[in-house]
Amino acid sequence: MEKILDRFLRYVSVDTQADPESDTQPSAAKELDLLKMLCDELNAMGVEATLDQYGYVMASIPSNCGKDVPAVGFIAHADTAPDAPGDNVKPQIIENYDGGDIPLKGVPGLRLKPSDFPELSQYKGQTIITTDGTTLLGADDKAGIAEIMTAVQYIVENPDFKHGDIKIGFTPDEEIGRGVVKFDVEKFGAKYAYTLDGGQVGELEYENFNAAGATIHIQGRNVHPGTAKGKMKNATLIGMEFNSFLPIEQRPEYTEGYEGFYHLISFKGEVETATFSYIIRDHNMALYESKKAYMQKCVDFINEKYGEGTATLDMKHQYYNMRQQVEPHYHIVEKAMKAMEMEGITPKIQPIRGGTDGANLSFMGLPCPNIFAGGHNFHGKMEYVPLESMEKASRVILNIISLYAE
C-alpha cells in the first residue's frame, strides 16, 4: 500500500492552478493532468472511475455489507488557488519537528515561525510538510485527495472491511467558485457526502459564508498634468477613494468567527482606467445582501460626484451558506463527530470562513458538510500540513463508512 506521504508528494508535483480569467471548464487544461492521473489510479485499483469533459472524476465502490444503507460520497478538489505560484512545487519534509522556526530554503531569510503561527507548536515531534517559500504547497486540497485515495486503497486491499455504496468525486476549479457548476449530482449517486477540504485536525463545518465577487471599473480622463486643472480624472485615485468608503473594521484582517468582510483581492490602475476586484462574505444572509447593496451605493456616489459612467460594478454571486440544507440531515454531522472521536479527536464544529464545493452541492440536493484535511495557511507560501493529520483524516473517512454500514 502506497504511503500517504508519497501519494501526496506525487500530487503536489502536478501544477493544477485554476485560472479565474478563463471561461472554460475546467478553467485551465493543466488541471486535467492530475484529474486524469486520479482516474487512472482508481481504475488500476479495480475501482470503476470516469473522467468527463468538464474535469469531474467520479468513481463508485459497490456495497459489500448486505444491508440497505445510504450511499455516501467523499469529494476533494484538484485545483490550487491563483493567489500564489503553483508550479514547480518543492516540498520540504521536516521530520520530528523540534518546535522552532522552519527555514523555507527557497527564499533566503524566510522562515515559518511559531511566533507568527502559534498552532505550529502543537505539532512538535511530528512530520511537517512545508513549501520552500517560492510557491504554495497545494495541501488545499491535494491533502484531501491523498486522504481519500488512501482510504480507497485500504478498502480495495481489505475486502473484509464492510461498507455500503461509496462514491468518490474529484473536481476542478473550486478555488475560483466554479467547482461544481456542471457536477451531475444524480450521476454521482450519493445520498450524503463529505468534502475533505478543511484545516487542522478536528475541524467539522456545515456553515459557510454567503459569497459574491465584485469588480469595479473606473473610467478616468487623462490629460497632460501641466494643463490638468478641472479636466483630469485620475482613475486610480478615484478607485482609492471608493475603497476608502468600505469600513476598515470589515476587512479580513480584523474579522473572525461569524463576522463578514469586504476583501480587496487585486487592483490595476493608471490615470485613464483602473479596476478593483473584491470578494464579499457574510454568514448572515441579511448582512450579506446589505454589503452588496452598500457597494452599489458607493458606486452610485462615485458616479454622482464624477459623472455617470465613471464607475461600473460587475457583481456575481458565488455560493450560499449551506447550513439550511445540511441541518435537516444533522445525523450526517453527528456521524462525522463520532468518526473523529473513534480516533481520539475532539471535533471542532465551526463556521467556514470561506466556502467549499459542499456548499453548492448542498443546494443541489446533496447535503455535504466539510471535514478537516489537516493543512494550514492555505493559498500562500507559508502553507504546511502535518503528515499525522493526513493519516488521521484518512482513518476518519473509514470510520464514517463503517458507521453508515452498521
Mean pLDDT of 14-20: 95
d(CA 272, CA 329): 53
d(CA 92, CA 395): 24
DSSP annotation string for 56-79: -EEEEE---S-S----EEEEEE--
d(CA 244, CA 233): 17
Q: In this predicted structure, what is the pLDDT of residue 356?
A: 79
d(CA 210, CA 362): 13
Lowest mean pLDDT among 35-39, 216-220, 320-324, 325-329: 320-324
Helix axes 139-157, 31-44, angle to 10 degrees: 10
Specify the CATH class of 4-208+321-405 in words.
alpha beta
User: What are the domain boundaries of the chain?
Assistant: 4-208+321-405, 210-319
> Contact at 8 Å (CB) between 380 and 84?
yes
Q: Residues 281-309: pLDDT tens digits?
A: 999 999 999 999 999 999 999 999 999 99
Choose the catalytic residue: 31, 41, 79, 383.
Answer: 79
Choose the catalytic residue: 132, 140, 173, 174.
Answer: 174
Asked whether residue 1 carries a pLDDT value surpassing 80, the answer given is no
User: How would residue 262 be classed by pLDDT, with cut points 50, 70 and 90?
Assistant: very high
Q: In this predicted structure, what is the pLDDT of residue 153?
A: 97
Q: How far is CA 35 from CA 39, 51, 89, in A?
A: 6, 7, 18
Mean pLDDT of 327-344: 97
| Mean confidence (pLDDT) of the chain | 95
Mean pLDDT of 319-345: 95
Q: C-alpha 256: how far from its chain's center?
A: 18
Q: What percent of the chain has pLDDT over 70?
A: 100
User: How would residue 18 be classed by pLDDT, with cut points 50, 70 and 90?
Assistant: very high
User: How would residue 232 be classed by pLDDT, with cut points 50, 70 and 90?
Assistant: very high
Asked whether residue 398 carries a pLDDT value surpassing 90, the answer given is yes
Catalytic site includes residue 165: no
Q: Residues 336-381: pLDDT tens digits?
A: 999 999 999 999 998 888 777 898 999 999 999 999 999 999 999 9
Mean pLDDT of 307-327: 93
Q: In this predicted structure, what is the pLDDT of residue 353?
A: 86
Asked whether residue 53 carries a pLDDT value surpassing 80, the answer given is yes
Asked whether residue 228 carries a pLDDT value surpassing 80, the answer given is yes
What amino acid occupies position 335?
Answer: K
Mean pLDDT of 240-255: 96
Q: Environment class of residue 303 by beta-carbon count within 10 Å: exposed (0-12), middle (13-18) or buried (19+)?
A: middle
Q: What is the pTM of this model?
A: 0.87
Q: By three-state DSSP, how is residue 301 classified?
A: helix
Q: In this predicted structure, what is the pLDDT of residue 319?
A: 85
The domain defined by 210-319 carries CATH number 3.90.1310.10: no
Q: What is the DSSP letter of 376?
A: B
Q: What percent of the chain has pLDDT over 90?
A: 93
Q: In this predicted structure, what is the pLDDT of residue 2?
A: 85
For residue 276, the cross-strand partners are 216, 267
User: How would residue 180 be classed by pLDDT, with cut points 50, 70 and 90?
Assistant: very high
Burial 275-293 (b: 16+ CB within 10 A, else e): ebbbbbbbbeeebbeebbe
Residue 66 CB: number of other CB atoms within 10 A?
Answer: 9
Asked whether residue 35 carries a pLDDT value surpassing 90, the answer given is yes
192-198 and 370-372: which strand pairing?
parallel
Catalytic site includes residue 174: yes
Q: In this predicted structure, what is the pLDDT of residue 355?
A: 75
> Contact at 8 Å (CB) between 82 and 19?
yes
d(CA 378, CA 233): 39
CA nearest neighbour of 345 among 372, 367, 326: 372
Mean pLDDT of 96-125: 96
Mean pLDDT of 93-116: 96
> Contact at 8 Å (CB) between 208 and 354?
yes
Q: In this predicted structure, what is the pLDDT of residue 352?
A: 84
d(CA 370, CA 350): 10
Helix/strand number for the chain, H first, E second:
10, 17
The grid coordinates listed for 346 are 475532539
What amino acid occupies position 277?
Answer: S
The grid coordinates listed for 344 are 481520539
Q: In this predicted structure, what is the pLDDT of residue 318?
A: 84
CA nearest neighbour of 13 among 76, 91, 94, 117: 91
